[in-house]
Amino acid sequence: MQTLLKPDLKLELKPDQQLITELQSMGLRLTDPTEGAASRRGGAGPSDHKAVTVNGHTVMIPVHTASSWSSPYVAAPLDLSGNSTVTRNGFPVGVISFPKPPRFYKMQTMDGIPYSQIATLHGSDVLATTILQSCIRYESRKKSCQFCAIGQSLAAKRTILRKTPEQLAEVARAAVLLDGIKHMVMTTGTPNATDRGAAMLCESAFAVKSAVDLPIQGQCEPPNDDMWFQRMKDAGIDALGMHLEAVTPEVRARIMPGKADVSVERYFDAFEKAVGVFGHGQVSTYILAGLGDTQEAILRTCEKLIAIGVYPFVVPFVPIAGTPLEDRPSPSSEFMRELLAPLGAMLGEGGLRSSDIKAGCGRCGACSSLSTFEKKTS
Q: 116: how many CB neighbours lie within 10 A of its CB?
A: 19
pLDDT band at 9 (very low <50, low <70, confident <90, very high): very low
The answer, yes or no, to whether residue 8 has pLDDT greater than 50, is no
pLDDT band at 28 (very low <50, low <70, confident <90, very high): very high
User: Chain centroid to CA 368: how far?
Assistant: 8
Mean of pLDDT over the chain: 91
The answer, yes or no, to whether residue 151 has pLDDT greater than 90, is no
> What pLDDT sits at residue 37?
56
Once rounded to an integer, what is the mean pLDDT over residues 266-290?
Answer: 98
Between residues 246 and 45, which one has the greater pLDDT?
Answer: 246
Segment 316-371, tens digit of pLDDT: 999 888 889 988 999 999 999 999 999 999 999 999 999 999 999 999 999 999 99
Delineate the domains of the chain, giving CATH numbers in brackets: 102-373 (3.20.20.70)
**SS3 label, residue 136:** coil
The answer, yes or no, to whether residue 11 has pLDDT greater than 80, is no
Q: Please choose, from the candidates 13, 6, 24, the residue with its C-alpha nearest in 3D space to the C-alpha of residue 299.
A: 6
- Residue 360 amino acid letter: G
Ranking 46-50, 136-140, 161-165 by mean pLDDT, the lowest is 46-50
Whether pTM > 0.85 for this model: the answer is yes
In order of 28, 130, 162, 195, 277, the CA distances from 200 in angstroms are: 36, 11, 10, 9, 19
pLDDT band at 251 (very low <50, low <70, confident <90, very high): very high
**SS3 label, residue 346:** helix
